[in-house]
């Protein structure tokens, strides 16, 4: 049989064990909480966030917006050259081009079919020079940079021509 002192020693040993476990848990929390706060502050203040590409209407453009490196679009054809610098129009045009390039359409083998056709040349310009060049005719969009061409429907072609028209700047 155990004596009273042995029983008391056993109780004290078990309570010391619980106290040490509780202290370890408190230390872990006290280390992790400041660490999480530091990482959050770092990500908010140091890492770049998504750019605010709102066009003044209060609605932000979606992730398909052009990269911020496109600063101007030159449209040449029909005897004139138009430079587009309005961010809203740049976003709309590049979104339309990206949608047409990514759509599962009838892709032509090369752009040689539209070499003589009258159309417009769309040049996307970055601060360091041309980024991409497209050739738009009535029924074909050719990426001159990559050499690929895509057949367009009448609606797609009309929508893209409407975005490129100089009147589109006056009547958004």
pLDDT interval class at 48 (50, 70, 90) = low
3-state SS assignment for residue 30: helix
| DSSP structural state of residue 111 | G
Task: Determine the distance from the C-alpha atom of residue 37 to the mean position of all C-alpha atoms in its chain, rounded to a whole number.
Answer: 27
pLDDT given at position 18:
96
pLDDT interval class at 148 (50, 70, 90) = confident
The mean pLDDT of 34-44, rounded to a whole number, is 88
pLDDT given at position 59:
45
User: Are residues 140 and 160 in contact, defined by beta-carbon separation less than 8 angstroms?
Assistant: no
Compute the distance between CA of residue 157 and CA of residue 172 in angstroms, rounded to an integer. Answer: 18
- pLDDT for residue 19 is more than 80: yes
The mean pLDDT of 38-42, rounded to a whole number, is 87
Residue 98: name the closest of 50, 60, 57, 62 by CA.
62
């Amino acid at each position: 049989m155990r004596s009273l002192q042995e029983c008391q020693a056993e109780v004290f040993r078990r309570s010391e064990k619980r106290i040490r476990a509780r202290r370890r848990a408190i230390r872990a929390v006290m280390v992790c909480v400041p660490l999480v706060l530091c990482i959050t502050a770092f990500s908010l203040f140091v890492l770049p966030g998504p750019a605010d590409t709102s066009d003044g209407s209060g609605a932000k453009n979606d992730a398909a917006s052009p990269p911020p490196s496109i600063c101007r679009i030159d449209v040449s054809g029909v005897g004139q050259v138009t430079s587009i610098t309005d961010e809203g129009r740049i976003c709309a045009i590049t979104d339309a081009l990206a949608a047409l390039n990514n759509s599962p359409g009838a892709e032509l083998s090369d752009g040689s079919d539209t070499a003589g056709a009258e159309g417009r040349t769309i040049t996307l310009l970055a601060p360091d020079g041309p980024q991409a060049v497209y050739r738009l005719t009535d029924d074909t969009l050719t990426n001159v940079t990559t050499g690929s061409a895509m057949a367009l429907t009448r609606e797609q072609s009309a929508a893209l021509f409407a975005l490129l028209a100089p009147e589109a700047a006056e009547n958004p």
